[in-house]
């Protein structure tokens, strides 16, 4: 029978599969569960224990109000229904549900609510295979995979410092053995006096002795926020790593691994006098730095050339991020580069 296959981080595709129970179990990787969320004569067949087994969260199911009421974990199928079993999807059903599930989703917890973030399926297939090319106004953009990328934590002009305790090489390198050493270091920078820093630490230890460590840490961070901007860094680890400043909706495979921070003195250097506006800019910059680092971890690293079809290569470089953003940047830059190149007698830069 013809079924629509929907996998995490991938676009849906049609596949001819067997109709026996074993065939369905093979596709979803375990015992099956059938759900019927639509008025059409179709069913979603998924792994019955997908969430318990910690399978990657895949797609959300939404009610008439557009709110998420469930999330399917792991690979699932959309199949048609016969009088007493499952069957092939009709052509119009394939089109309908391919469109419904065409965009992969990533899930974050924000303000106590689950948020689904649409992401690009499998990055871009042409780039995955070899390279991508596009010509606009006589300028050719050539994008290739960067097989030896440099971490944006090493070469970018970063506002923040990422301190993680999950792995030594994650984020920016540091010499702290654990998070307590890091917090004590920041308190010393905050007070500028070792005795004051130690006294404040001891006070927090005593006041929140019977509470979870996070309660103590949150009060320390509140004090540090008087001259720091500090955001948590979370990781979701399952068939690869993903990082974010927002928590992931997965208690088994995700959690906080550290912080990204900067001091107000550095905010002043980047954005001007410290006020609500510049602090907001700093927080957004730190979020973007973690997002760029996440692109690097997820291997969205490219090398590109801009080629004037008359004069040759006029510019090139490296990019960490999605291909659409790279295309927008490159072609927005191309006219200036083309003019500059022609101004130099038509020679390529």
* pLDDT score at 123: 40
Q: Looking at residues 168-181, what average pLDDT do you find?
A: 83
Q: 1 pLDDT exceeds 70?
A: yes
* pLDDT score at 120: 66
* pLDDT score at 346: 30
* pLDDT score at 315: 75
Q: From edge to edge, which strands make up the β-sheet containing 161-164? A: 161-164, 254-263, 228-237, 241-244
- Among 159-163, 206-210, 339-343, the minimum mean pLDDT is found in 339-343
- Give the containing element (helix H, strand E) for 40: none
Q: Distance between CA atoms of 348 and 334, rounded to whole angstroms?
A: 12
* pLDDT score at 160: 96
Share of the chain above pLDDT 90, in %: 52
Binning pLDDT at 50, 70 and 90, where does residue 166 land? low
Q: Distance between CA atoms of 343 and 349, rounded to whole angstroms?
A: 11
| pTM recorded for the entire structure | 0.60
Binning pLDDT at 50, 70 and 90, where does residue 307 land? confident
* pLDDT score at 343: 35
* pLDDT score at 313: 60
Q: What angle do CA 329, 321, 281 make, to 5 degrees?
A: 80
- Indicate the domain borders of the chain: 2-118, 125-149+300-343, 152-297
Q: Looking at residues 29-38, what average pLDDT do you find?
A: 94
178-201 pLDDT, tens digit per residue, is: 999 999 999 999 999 999 999 999
Q: Distance between CA atoms of 280 and 152, rounded to whole angstroms?
A: 22
Q: 176 pLDDT exceeds 70?
A: yes
- Among 4-8, 74-78, 328-332, the minimum mean pLDDT is found in 328-332
84-122 pLDDT, tens digit per residue, is: 899 999 988 998 998 899 889 888 776 667 788 887 665
Integer CA distances (angstroms), 11 to 29, 103, 118, 194, in order: 19, 6, 12, 56
208-250 pLDDT, tens digit per residue, is: 999 999 999 999 999 999 999 999 999 988 767 899 999 987 7
Specify the 3-state DSSP secondary structure of 247. Answer: coil
């Amino acid at each position: 029978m013809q079924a629509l296959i929907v996998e995490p981080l991938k676009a849906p595709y049609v596949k001819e599969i067997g109709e026996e129970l074993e065939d369905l179990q093979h596709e979803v990787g375990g015992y099956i569960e059938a759900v019927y969320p639509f008025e059409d004569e179709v069913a979603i067949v998924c792994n019955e224990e997908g969430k318990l087994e910690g399978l990657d969260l895949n797609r959300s199911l939404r009610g008439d109000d557009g709110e998420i009421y469930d999330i399917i974990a792991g690979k699932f199928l959309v199949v048609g229904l016969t009088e007493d079993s499952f069957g092939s999807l009709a052509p119009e059903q394939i089109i309908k549900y391919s469109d419904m599930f065409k965009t992969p989703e990533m899930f974050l917890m924000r303000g106590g609510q689950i948020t689904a973030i649409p992401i690009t399926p499998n990055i871009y297939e042409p780039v995955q295979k070899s390279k991508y090319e596009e010509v606009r106004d006589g300028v050719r953009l050539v994008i290739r995979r960067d097989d030896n990328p440099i971490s944006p934590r090493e070469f970018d002009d970063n506002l923040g410092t990422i301190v993680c305790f999950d792995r030594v090489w994650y984020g920016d390198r540091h010499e702290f053995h654990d998070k307590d050493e890091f917090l004590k270091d920041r308190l010393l920078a905050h007070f500028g006096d070792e005795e004051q820093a130690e006294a404040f630490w001891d006070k927090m230890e005593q006041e929140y002795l019977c509470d979870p460590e996070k309660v103590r840490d949150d009060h320390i961070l509140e004090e540090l926020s008087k001259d720091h901007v500090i955001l948590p860094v979370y990781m979701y680890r399952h068939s690869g790593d993903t990082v974010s400043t927002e928590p992931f909706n997965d208690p088994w495979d995700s959690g906080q691994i550290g912080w990204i921070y900067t001091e107000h003195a550095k905010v002043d250097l980047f954005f001007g006098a410290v006020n609500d506006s510049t602090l907001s800019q700093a927080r957004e910059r730190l979020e973007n730095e973690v997002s760029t680092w996440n692109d690097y971890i997820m291997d969205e690293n490219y090398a590109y050339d801009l080629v004037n079809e008359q004069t040759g290569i006029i510019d090139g470089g490296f990019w960490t991020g999605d291909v659409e953003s790279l295309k927008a940047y490159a072609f927005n830059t191309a006219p200036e580069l083309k003019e500059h190149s022609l101004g130099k007698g038509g020679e390529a830069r």
